[in-house]
Structure 1
Amino acid sequence: MLIRNCLTPRNELETVCLDTSVEKTLERLKEYRLESIPVLDRQKRFAGITGYGCIFKAWVFQGEPDGFFTAQQSISSTVQTVPVLTMDSDFEETLPIMVRYPFVPIVEDKGTFAGIVKISAIESALKCTFGYGMKGTRFLIGVFIDMPHVLEELLDSIKSFGVNIISIASFDAGNTAARRILLKVSPSPYDEQIVQRLTEKGFRVINVHSDHRR
């Protein structure tokens, strides 16, 4: 999965400039039913985000007790910095940003704002990766990282059953010497035979879940 496949480009987004007033920004948020909005400088470079939460926080800290905060001032003092990615970034780099911010900003050369990756786009990509919503059987398999030709052996083990692979993903098991492989295959009557074959091949089948039998 590439960043460009999930990108909502700048021309499809609402943005504000650093010198836009707080009042105008609030109007824009209300008009387009947004909670937050990208902020750009005059060179169309990404400066950060602002929104209801950022503006309220700025009002609290600047307006009370001795500060000065008005609806006519620019939103520059309300802008929150956000880590940015580029078109060449790996898709998985969006994940730590996604859990902390409302979207993932993407920039081109010299920081020019290219667009954003929305949380909904990341969610869709992850659903696709794990075969969410597709009927089948999911096998959770434990392997050792120094086991040679793991995927080759795994795929060879199920080849004779004629099942289609919906998804396959590998992830850390919390142990430096072990990993997990999550394999999802199309519905078939061979679930037990597949487990037996995998076991014979030296794989540890931790869990089997079939949603096509419900």
Structure 2
Amino acid sequence: MNIAFFLTPKNEVIYEYLDATMRQVIERMEHHGYTAVPLIDKDGKYMGTLTEGDLLWKLKNTPDLNFKNSENIRVKDIQRKRKHKSVSINSDVESLISLATSQNFVPVVDDEGIFIGIIKRSDIINYCYSEMKKKKIV
């Protein structure tokens, strides 16, 4: 099976650019109810994932930082605690599942490292469950 079957394309995904402000990211994450967002550079390359935890650590470790002045902090200046790995659109399902066990979503890139979308862990689980139901395993 090709992992493209599970792909949520970039145009349906909330992501942020590295030059966005901390405040912009907080507001978008709150609005959409997300706990993490993929980050891309101006050329569209996947650069990592920013999580709520990363934002909280930045707030904790920056004296005098508050929501109002968080508009002065760029996403690229926020340290990320974990490296969320991406997969190539040409990767096999085993590579995808290996990453999905520890990430809520797996960013997908093309051969040039350009971000093309995500694969949500929930979509993989739902697919597996429906296949098990068809075979009457559950």
If the TM-score is normalised by the length of the shorter chain, which range does it land in? 0.7 to 0.9
Query: 1:27: which partner in 2?
Result: 27
Q: CA deviation at 1:111?
A: 0.8
What is the aligned length? 133
Partner of 1:12: 12
Deviation at residue 102 of structure 1 after TM alignment: 1.8
What do residues 9-56 of structure 1 show as CA deviations (whole Å, max 9, x unaligned)? 101111111111110100101111111111110001001111312211
Q: Give the SS at the match of 2:34.
A: coil
Structure 2 length normalisation: TM-score?
Answer: 0.84
Distance 1:29 1:59 in 2: 16
What is the correspondence of 1:38-187 to structure 2 with a 5 Å cutoff?
38-60=38-60, 62-63=61-62, 71-72=70-71, 73-76=73-76, 77-79=78-80, 80-128=82-130, 131-134=131-134, 136=136
Determine helix, strand or coil for the equivalent of 1:109.
coil
Query: Which residue pairs with 1:162 in the alignment?
Result: none
Q: CA deviation at 1:94?
A: 1.4
Over alpha carbons, which structure has the higher Rg? 1
Aligned-pair Cα RMSD in Å? 2.2
Calculate percent identity across the aligned residue pairs: 23
Contact 2:36 2:49 in 1 (8 A): yes
TM-superposed CA distance for 1:135, in Å, is 6.5
Q: Which has the higher strand share?
A: 1
For 1:197, the equivalent position in structure 2 comes to: none
Q: After the TM superposition, which parts of structure 1 deviate over 3 Å for at least 4 consecutive aligned residues?
A: 67-70
- From the two aligned structures, give the one with the greater helix fraction: 2
When normalised by structure 1's length, the TM-score is 0.56
Q: Partners in 2 of 1:14 and 1:68 — Cα distance?
A: 25
Q: Indicate conservation of the 8 Å contact 1:29/1:51, yes or no.
A: no
- Mapped contact 1:3–1:89 kept (Cα < 8 A): yes
